[in-house]
């Protein structure tokens, strides 16, 4: 059996980092970890190919080679997935689909032959057994969660690592919290399930032995869901693993209560973590109460961010506007918090209601769900009727984006961050692409860019005040360029001025 695994294209978003990737000669930010793991669950005597549409085109020859196509992805990849499915159907190639994109509303994909949904560790073996017997069903679902101890090492041999900016590892699934707008607990449950330390090290060894020396993303939705195991097992093992390794810095996602645990912060820093994404959502207590973000309530969020930065980890922050309790003043409070916190990578999005979440169920009962869920909360659209009115929400959202990503305020925020950050203990080796990124940024941002004054001012300021952070200054400047390009595309910025087009 010849299996073609296909990963649909991700449209331009903040998370695609498309305009930043050009500076380092990469095609995509992350590899399709889910499909790579699924590939390892297939029978060993089957032939496998993987085509990631984010790094290469899907050729007719690939489709002609295959006996069956496996497609997986997220909601944001829906349009690309539909085009791929149509191409497969046009030549009679059977399609098997799985992942969050297909799990919530499989009826939207009538041309798919078989759905292998929920966690493939459970549903794929059932499908493969029925396929062997000639009796495959159309939909396979799981009524329980899998034991991650049986999850195999991803098939890294199916991709060209050099096309990606980062590799990925998964340590856990599930989150102990229950935010109203989040579908993580719907997909993976409340109790964090863990791989063993030996499994994680085996995956890291595989990546390192393949020649990888750059960043590695622990894709867990909440890496610190089981702090005890992290502190007693995994992080000490990662510290030991790093002793004879070069490069390979880690980053991940976590909840704000990371700031409450100095020991955990210290261990993560020593293990090579230099960045963490945290869902801040809002500085307003009323908004946090509304969405049941209990872990963020009754705390000094600004001080918590600084604690994490001073421990040596850059905080990437997620923010949301459009809660029922938001008012006109909410937008300025978001701006003020982002600027004061020094969260350079501030992902501000408009509230959406993913199907399957409590938010979706609540708003559907109130007849406030408008359209299909796009999976992209930073393109200036939403699938709900906001209580404050859509026009007022969009105006406020634009006011945030035009301020936090205008060159003047963005570069000022980088300096605020650098004043707090503990310099990194580890660094990735300087390779040709990193050197070229410096040259390219100096030309495109420092010569041709509208931010050229701010760019050179930041580099000179960093060289004098925080010289160890100079590579990070270049990286963040490139990120800022990407964020502004996305704003120009989706949030009505003029590409030649810091003024929104209304």
Is 231 among the domain residues? yes
If we measure between CA atoms, which residue out of 273, 155, 150 comes closest to residue 210? 155
Q: Where are the alpha helices (DSSP H) in 110-251?
A: 120-132, 184-188, 197-209, 227-229, 235-242
Q: Look up the CATH number of the domain holding residue 125.
A: 3.40.50.280
Q: Are strands 273-281 and 314-321 parallel, antiparallel or unpaired?
A: parallel
Report d(CA 309, CA 54) in Å as an integer: 32
Of 387, 419, 451, the residue that ends a domain is: 419
Q: Look up the CATH number of the domain holding residue 253.
A: 3.80.30.20
Same domain, 444 and 412: no
Report d(CA 352, CA 376) in Å as an integer: 9
Q: Which residues contact 185 (CB under 8 A, 6 or more apart)?
A: 174, 175, 177, 178
Radius of gyration of the chain (CA): 23
Same domain, 429 and 415: no
Report d(CA 321, CA 129) in Å as an integer: 47
Instruction: For residue 62, count CB atoms less than 10 angstroms from its CB and return exposed for 0-12, middle for 13-18, buried for 19 or more.
Output: middle
Q: How many helices (H) and strands (E) does the chain have?
A: 20, 14
Question: First vs last Cα of the chain: how many Å apart?
Answer: 55
Same domain, 182 and 273: yes
Q: What residues make up the domain containing 231?
A: 166-345+408-419
Same domain, 333 and 208: yes
Instruction: For residue 466, count CB atoms less than 10 angstroms from its CB and return exposed for 0-12, middle for 13-18, buried for 19 or more.
Output: middle
74-88 CB burial, b ≥16 within 10 A, e <16: ebbbbebbeebbebb
Same domain, 204 and 310: yes
Same domain, 177 and 126: no
Q: What is the pLDDT along the chain (502 residues), one digit of tens a residue?
A: 999 999 999 998 888 999 999 999 999 999 999 999 999 999 999 999 999 999 999 999 999 999 999 999 999 999 999 999 999 999 999 999 999 999 988 989 999 999 999 999 999 999 999 999 999 999 999 999 999 999 999 999 999 999 999 999 999 999 999 999 998 988 899 899 999 999 999 999 999 999 999 999 999 999 999 999 999 999 999 999 999 998 899 999 999 999 999 999 999 999 999 999 999 999 999 999 999 999 999 999 999 999 999 999 999 999 999 999 999 999 999 999 999 999 999 999 999 999 889 999 999 999 999 877 877 766 778 999 999 999 999 999 999 999 999 999 999 999 999 999 999 887 766 677 778 899 999 999 999 999 999 999 999 999 999 999 999 999 999 999 999 999 888 775 443 444 333 2
- The pLDDT, as a whole number, for residue 492 is 54
- The pLDDT, as a whole number, for residue 500 is 36
Is 291 among the domain residues? yes
Same domain, 170 and 79: no
Same domain, 181 and 302: yes
Report d(CA 122, CA 119) in Å as an integer: 6
C-beta of residue 454 within 8 angstroms of C-beta of residue 414 = no
Is 161 among the domain residues? no
Say how many domains are in the chain: 3
Q: Print the SS3 string covering 407-419.
A: HHHHHHHHHHHHH
């Amino acid at each position: 059996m010849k299996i073609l695994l296909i990963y649909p294209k991700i449209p331009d978003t903040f998370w695609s980092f498309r305009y930043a990737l050009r500076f380092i000669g990469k095609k995509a930010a992350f590899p399709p970890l889910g499909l790579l793991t699924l590939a390892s669950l297939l029978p060993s005597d089957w032939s496998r190919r993987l085509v990631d549409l984010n790094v290469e085109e899907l050729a007719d020859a690939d489709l002609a080679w295959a006996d069956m196509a496996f497609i997986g992805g997220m909601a944001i990849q829906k349009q690309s997935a539909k085009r791929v499915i149509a191409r497969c159907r046009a030549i009679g190639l059977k399609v098997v689909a799985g992942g969050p994109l297909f799990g919530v509303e499989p009826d939207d994909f009538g041309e798919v032959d078989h759905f292998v949904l929920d966690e493939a560790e459970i549903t794929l073996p059932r499908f493969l057994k029925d396929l062997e017997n000639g009796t495959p069903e159309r939909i396979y679902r799981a009524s329980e969660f899998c034991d991650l101890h049986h999850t195999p090492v991803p098939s890294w041999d199916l991709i060209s690592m050099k096309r990606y900016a980062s590799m990925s590892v998964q340590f856990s699934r599930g989150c102990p919290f229950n935010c109203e707008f989040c579908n993580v607990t719907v997909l993976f449950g409340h109790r964090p399930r863990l791989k063993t330390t030996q499994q994680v090290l085996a995956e890291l060894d595989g990546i390192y032995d393949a020649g990888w020396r750059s960043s590695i993303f622990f894709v867990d939705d909440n890496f610190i869901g089981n702090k005890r195991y992290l502190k007693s097992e995994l992080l000490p093992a990662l510290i030991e693993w790093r002793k004879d390794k070069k490069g390979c810095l880690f980053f991940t996602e976590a909840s704000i209560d990371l700031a409450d645990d100095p020991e955990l912060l210290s261990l993560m820093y020593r293990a090579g973590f230099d960045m963490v994404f945290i869902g801040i959502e809002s500085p307003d207590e009323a908004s946090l109460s509304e969405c049941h973000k209990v872990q963020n309530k009754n705390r000094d969020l600004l001080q918590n961010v600084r604690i994490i930065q001073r421990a040596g980890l850059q905080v990437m922050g997620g923010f949301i506007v459009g809660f029922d309790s938001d008012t006109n003043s909410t937008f300025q409070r978001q701006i003020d918090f982002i600027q004061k916190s020094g969260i350079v990578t501030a992902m501000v999005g408009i509230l959406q209601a993913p199907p399957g979440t409590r938010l979706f169920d609540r708003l559907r009962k109130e007849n406030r769900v408008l359209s299909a869920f796009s999976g992209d909360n930073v393109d200036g659209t939403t699938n709900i009727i906001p209580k404050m009115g859509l026009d007022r929400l969009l105006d406020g959202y634009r006011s945030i984006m035009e301020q936090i990503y205008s060159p003047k305020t963005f570069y000022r925020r980088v300096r605020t961050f650098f004043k707090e950050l503990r310099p990194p203990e580890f660094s990735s080796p300087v390779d040709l692409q990193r050197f070229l990124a410096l040259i390219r940024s100096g030309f495109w941002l420092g010569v041709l860019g509208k931010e050229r004054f701010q760019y050179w001012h930041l580099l000179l300021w960093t060289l004098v005040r925080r010289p160890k952070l100079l590579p990070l200054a270049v990286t963040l400047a490139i990120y800022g360029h990407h964020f502004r390009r996305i704003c120009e595309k989706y949030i009505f910025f003029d590409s030649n001025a810091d003024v929104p087009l209304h």
